[in-house]
């Protein structure tokens, strides 16, 4: 209380002192102003030197304490004092907050975290940022995919519309040339035959995969080639007489019967695609064939102009309308290529057939020209000796291929004919030989690429003087890879196929093996399919180490063919187990963390012979698991279980402590002398001695 009273008494004193100081300052300022006014007229009369001297005197003149020496100096000092006080306050705040590092506005005090908490916080922030970036990327990719899909749909719709308009225009144009043919009377006539064939062939036939249809096309192609090859020969050469004509008539009838059966029985049953749907209705397939351009040409090709031979004489010229069915031959060629394992063989044979057919036509033309000029009339024409067709064919070969050594043409007709032969030979045979070269080049393109790759690798190894042992192993890998799969990289072929086809192939090869893996049991089937698409095929040579003990595990392996061995010992001579096709190893390392070396390989795995393995990398698995959170939980749980089971199996067993009498070890054997006394006691000998002595 006394202290409070003293403070209350001192307060009025302080206020009075402040007032007196303010009054003194005001008086000093008034005195300074008056003095400046008095000095102004005097300063005007002073020289420049006196002005400088007076200014210096004003600065150094010592006034009484209440008097200000200089207003400028007073202001400067006051500003300095003010800034020093502000700095003092800032330094006080800085001493309180150790995180403040500059004289600027001090940031708020941040809490101090432990190192583990700080690392965890940073990891969470990093993961959150990555997740946000991933979502943004997925959203952008989804929008781009949707835009691309919409553009693709628009493009396909426009193409479809344009194709429909083109087909409609083509149909209208063809309708003007070949009007629709009504076959109602033929339908009634052949209805029993169609019903009978339904029980044998079925209501409809797939023209691309049904082998029966491809076999039938072979018969149709033979009939077509009969007409194409023999009609010109029969027309040019004297092959018609009373003895041979019945055989020609029989063959002609057989070829016509084949064509009629094809038009009535097979073609109306062929399935077709309309707006993406496979039409399998018999009535619709028949209507589709009847309205097609091919039906009209087929009907023209079987018109029996041969009946004119009854009035004008027997000739093969009336069968030239059979040539119109050339679409049947090209269809047979396409279907045969689709089912052949080595289609280039048929392409080479077909091109060779084109070449022989051109020679065949030229031989027929040469014989007709010789007859027109007169046989043996000049040295250039056919002389009528030997077999006419063979002699004329020989002339055609030498003429069209420009071999030379031909007789000189004499007449203008002969010269014109020979010049035409040369021009036709140059253009036709050059195109056919070029086509043959393309066919053979396409057939051997893969092997040429293999040879070029191998030669380039060998040249590289020779340039850098790679040891011969390594070079031999590289050559062995190239040769075995080419011999086993016919290509160096399977992905080059699979990448060209649509996704559905790649999935079908991958599922057929490896899905059953994946489903047997204990780690993946219970996971989403679609996730397994996605994993199958990420597999990569690798071939290991005999003795190659697939994995080594202590390596970082980043992949799992599926044995496609061959075998591998788990080996150990000082020189890896001990074989623990042999894994064959269909087995899996290294799957646990996919889910183990690299922290504390958890994903290190625990054994050596070596290829036993040539081994073809499928490899799945950890990065690919994690990319897939992002889209399957439930499967990710299942894999994490099973991975922990497998790791614990593996650790328990590999842990050393503790020796049990001996208990009871085992502490003293095995009992030593009884001495023989003691054994003898023991036996005597058991027999009662000592008792008998006691009785006698008594």
β-strand pairing of 584-585 with 555-568: antiparallel
DSSP letter at 588 equals G
Residues 452-480: pLDDT tens digits?
A: 998 999 999 999 998 998 999 899 988 88
The span from the CA of 151 to the CA of 157, in Å, is 10
Lowest mean pLDDT of 61-65, 239-243, 259-263, 516-520, name the range: 61-65
Q: Are residues 446 and 530 in the same domain?
A: no
Query: Could you report the per-residue pLDDT of 555-593, keeping only the tens digit for each?
Result: 889 888 889 999 988 888 889 999 988 888 887 777 665
**Mean pLDDT, residues 623-637 taken together:** 84
Residues 6+ apart with CB under 8 A from 529: 503, 506, 507, 511
Mean pLDDT of 42-62: 47
Task: Answer yes or no: are the C-beta atoms of 223 and 259 closer than 8 Å.
Answer: yes
Domain-terminating residue out of 339, 369, 396 = 339
Q: What is the mean pLDDT of the chain?
A: 79
In a domain, 42, yes or no: no
Tell me the C-alpha to C-alpha distance, in Å, between residue 201 and each of 209, 222, 280, 463, 549.
Answer: 14, 21, 13, 65, 63
pLDDT band at 135 (very low <50, low <70, confident <90, very high): confident
281 and 310 belong to one structural domain: yes
**What is the domain-level CATH number for residue 592?**
2.60.120.10
> Distances from the Cα of 364 to the Cαs of 156, 230, 234, 361, 492, in angstroms?
51, 11, 9, 5, 50
Is residue 674 scored above 70 in pLDDT? no
**Is-contact 205 269, C-beta < 8 A?**
yes
d(CA 357, CA 397): 11
State how beta strands 545-547 and 604-617 pair.
antiparallel
What is the C-alpha radius of gyration for the chain, rounded to an integer number of angstroms?
54
Cβ neighbors of 169 (< 8 A, separation 6 or more) are: none
Q: What's the rounded mean pLDDT across residues 252-257? A: 94
- Please give the helix or strand (H or E) that residue 537 lies within, else none: strand 536-540
- Encode pLDDT of 388-404 as tens digits: 999 999 999 988 877 77
Residues 6+ apart with CB under 8 A from 220: 258, 259, 262, 328, 332
Q: What is the pLDDT of residue 664?
A: 46
End-of-domain residue from the set 649, 669, 686: 649
Residue 622 has pLDDT above 80, yes or no: yes
Is there a single domain that holds both residue 319 and residue 367? Answer: no
pLDDT tens digit string along 639-657?
777 767 766 655 544 444 4
pLDDT at 216: 94
Among 62, 66, 78, CA closest to 22: 66
Q: What is the DSSP string of 196-248?
A: HHHHHH-S-B-TTT-HHHHHHHHHHHHHHHHHHHHHHHHHHSS--STTTHHHH
- Share of residues in the chain with pLDDT > 90 (%): 22
Give me the number of domains the chain comprises.
Answer: 3
* Better-predicted residue by pLDDT, 661 or 93: 93
SS3 state of residue 238: coil
Residue 373 sits in the same domain as residue 300? no
What per-residue confidence (pLDDT) applies to 600?
A: 78
Contacts of 386-395 with CB under 8 Å at 24 or more apart are 388/237, 388/238, 389/233, 389/237, 389/363, 392/363, 392/364, 392/366, 392/367, 393/359, 393/360, 393/363, 395/363, 395/366
In a domain, 669, yes or no: no
Specify the pLDDT at position 252: 94
**Helix 618-625 and helix 525-533: axis angle, to 10°?**
140
Q: In this predicted structure, what is the pLDDT of residue 219? A: 95
Report the C-alpha gap between 634 and 616 in whole angstroms: 19
Question: For residue range 151-188, what is the model confidence (pLDDT) as tens digits?
Answer: 888 888 888 888 888 777 776 665 555 555 556 666 66
pLDDT digits (tens, 9 = 90+) for 91-132: 777 766 555 455 555 455 555 667 777 778 888 888 888 888
DSSP reduced 3-state for 252? helix
Is residue 407 scored above 80 in pLDDT? yes
Q: Pick from 343, 335, 294, 324: which is nearest to 205 by CA?
A: 335
Q: Which of 468, 467, 488, 466 is nearest to 477 (CA)?
A: 488
Measured at the CA of 507, the angle between CA 503 and CA 512, to 5 degrees, comes to 165
Please check whether residues 504 and 462 belong to one and the same domain: no
- The CATH code of the domain that includes 410 is 1.10.287
Domain assignment present for residue 266? The answer is yes
Q: Which two tokens stand for residue 385?
A: 């000796």
Measured CA to CA, the distance from residue 574 to residue 566 in angstroms comes to 8
pLDDT at 54: 53
- pLDDT score at 47: 47
| Coil/strand/helix, residue 167 | helix
Residue 80 falls within a domain, yes or no?
no
Whether 573 and 458 map to the same domain: the answer is no
Domain ranges, residue 634: 497-649
Position 32 confidence tier, pLDDT thresholds 50, 70, 90: low
pLDDT number for residue 693 = 46
Do 221 and 293 share a structural domain?
yes
Buried b (16+ CB within 10 A) or exposed e, 520-530: beebbeebbbb
3-class secondary structure, 374? coil
Does the predicted TM-score (pTM) go above 0.75? no
CA 323 from centre of chain = 46
3 state DSSP class of 585: strand
CA distance 475 to 454: 7
pLDDT-derived band at 636, boundaries 50, 70, 90? confident
Q: What's the pLDDT at 259? A: 94
In a domain, 81, yes or no: no
Q: Which two tokens stand for residue 18?
A: 């402040």
Beta-carbon contacts of residue 92 (< 8 Å; ≥ 6 apart): none
Residue 448 half-sphere exposure, CB side, CA atoms within 13 Å? 6
- Give the mean pLDDT of 418-423: 89
| DSSP class of 603 | S
* DSSP H helical ranges for 61-114: 71-96
Question: Looking at residue 598, what is its pLDDT?
Answer: 53
pLDDT at residue 649 in the model: 58
Q: Is residue 214 part of a domain?
A: yes
Tokens representing residue 187 in the block: 């339908």
> 307 and 195 in one domain?
yes
pLDDT at 657: 45
**Residue 2's pLDDT band (boundaries 50, 70, 90)?**
very low
Which stretches of 291-386 are DSSP H helices? Answer: 293-301, 309-312, 326-339, 343-373
pLDDT at 154: 86
Kindly report, residue by residue over 592-607, the tens digit of the pLDDT: 655 544 577 888 999 9
Do residue 549 and residue 642 come from a single domain?
A: yes
Place of tokens 């023991």: 678
Domain final residue, candidates 434, 455, 488: 488
Alpha-carbon distance values, 416 to 377, 412, 429, 477, 579 (Å) = 17, 6, 19, 62, 78
| Average of per-residue pLDDT across 361-366 | 94
- Model pLDDT for residues 297-350, shown as the tens digit of each residue: 999 999 999 889 888 889 999 999 999 999 999 999 999 988 888 888 898 899
Mean local confidence (pLDDT), 274-284: 84
> 503 and 484, same structural domain?
no
Among 336, 355, 353, 356, smallest CA distance to 344 is for 336
E strand or H helix at 625: helix 618-625
Residue 682 lies in a domain: no
User: Which tens digit of pLDDT belongs to each residue from 64-76?
Assistant: 454 666 788 888 8
- The pair of structure tokens assigned to 520 is 């993946």
Rounded Cα gap, residues 315 and 308, in angstroms: 9
Which pLDDT band, with edges at 50, 70 and 90, does 687 fall under? Answer: low
- 369, 330: one domain: no
One domain, residues 482 and 519:
no
Mean per-residue pLDDT, 238-256: 93
Is the CB of residue 262 less than 8 Å from the CB of residue 328? yes
> Is residue 194 domain-resident?
yes
H helices present in 46-70, as ranges = 48-60
**Rounded CA separation 430/483 (Å):** 35
């Amino acid at each position: 209380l006394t202290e409070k009273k003293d403070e209350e008494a001192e307060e009025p004193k302080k206020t009075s002192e402040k007032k007196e100081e303010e009054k003194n300052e005001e008086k000093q300022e008034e005195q300074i102003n008056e003095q400046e006014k008095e000095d102004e007229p005097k300063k005007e009369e002073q020289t420049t030197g006196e002005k400088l001297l007076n200014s210096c005197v004003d600065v150094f003149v010592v006034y009484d304490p209440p008097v200000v020496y200089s207003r400028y100096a007073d202001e400067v000092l006051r500003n300095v004092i003010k800034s020093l006080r502000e700095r003092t306050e800032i330094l006080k705040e800085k001493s309180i907050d150790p995180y403040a590092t500059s004289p600027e506005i001090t940031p708020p005090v941040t809490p101090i975290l432990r190192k583990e908490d700080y690392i965890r916080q940073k990891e969470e922030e990093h993961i959150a940022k990555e997740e946000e970036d991933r979502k943004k990327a997925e959203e952008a990719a989804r929008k781009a995919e949707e835009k691309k899909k919409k553009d693709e749909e628009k493009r396909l719709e426009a193409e479809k519309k344009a194709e429909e308009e083109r087909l409609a225009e083509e149909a209208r144009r063809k309708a003007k040339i070949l009007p629709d043919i009504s076959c109602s009377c033929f339908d009634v006539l052949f209805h029993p035959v169609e019903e009978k064939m339904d029980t044998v062939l079925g209501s409809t036939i797939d023209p691309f995969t049904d082998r029966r249809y491809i076999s039938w096309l072979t018969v149709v192609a033979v009939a077509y080639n009969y007409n194409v090859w023999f009609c010109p020969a029969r027309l040019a050469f004297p092959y018609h007489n009373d003895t041979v004509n019945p055989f020609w008539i029989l063959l002609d009838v057989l070829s016509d019967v084949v064509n009629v059966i094809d038009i009535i029985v097979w073609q109306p049953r062929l399935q077709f695609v309309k707006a993406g749907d496979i039409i399998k209705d018999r009535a619709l397939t028949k209507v589709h064939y009847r309205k097609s351009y091919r039906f009209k040409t087929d009907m023209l090709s079987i018109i029996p102009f041969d009946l004119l031979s009854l009035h004008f004489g027997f000739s093969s010229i009336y069968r030239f309308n059979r040539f119109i069915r050339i679409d049947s031959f090209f269809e047979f060629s396409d279907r045969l290529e689709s089912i052949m394992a080595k289609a280039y063989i048929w392409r080479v044979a077909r091109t060779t057939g084109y070449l022989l057919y051109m020679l065949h036509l030229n031989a027929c033309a040469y014989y007709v020209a010789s007859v027109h000029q007169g046989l043996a009339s000049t040295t250039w024409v056919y002389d009528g000796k030997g077999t006419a067709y063979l002699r004329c064919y020989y002339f055609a070969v030498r003429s069209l291929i420009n071999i030379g050594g031909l007789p000189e043409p004499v007449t203008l007709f002969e010269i014109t004919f020979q010049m035409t032969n040369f021009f036709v030979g140059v253009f036709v045979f050059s195109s056919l030989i070029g086509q043959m070269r393309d066919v053979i080049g396409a057939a051997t393109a893969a092997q040429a690429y293999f040879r070029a790759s191998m030669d380039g690798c060998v040249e590289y190894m020779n340039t850098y003087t790679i040891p011969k042992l390594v070079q031999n192993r590289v050559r062995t890998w190239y040769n075995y890879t080419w011999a086993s799969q016919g290509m160096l990289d399977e992905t080059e072929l699979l990448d060209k196929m649509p996704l559905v086809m790649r999935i079908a192939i991958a599922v057929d090869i490896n899905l059953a093996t994946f489903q047997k893996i204990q780690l993946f049991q219970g996971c989403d089937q679609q996730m397994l399919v996605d994993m199958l698409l990420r597999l990569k095929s690798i071939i290991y040579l005999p003795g190659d180490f697939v994995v080594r003990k202590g390596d970082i595990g980043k992949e799992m392996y599926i044995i496609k063919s061959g075998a591998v061995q788990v080996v150990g010992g000082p020189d890896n001579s001990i074989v623990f187990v042999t894994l064959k096709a269909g087995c899996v190893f290294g799957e646990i390392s996919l889910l183990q963390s690299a922290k504390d070396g958890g994903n290190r390989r625990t054994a050596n795995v070596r290829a036993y012979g040539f081994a073809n393995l499928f490899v799945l990398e950890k990065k690919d698995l994690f990319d897939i698991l992002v889209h399957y959170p439930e499967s990710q939980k299942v894999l994490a749980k099973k991975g922990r279980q497998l790791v614990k089971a593996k650790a328990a199996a590999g842990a050393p067993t503790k020796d049990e402590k001996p208990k009871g009498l085992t502490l003293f070890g095995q009992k030593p054997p009884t001495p023989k002398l003691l054994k003898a006394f023991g036996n005597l006691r058991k027999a009662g000998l000592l008792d008998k001695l006691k009785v006698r002595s008594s």
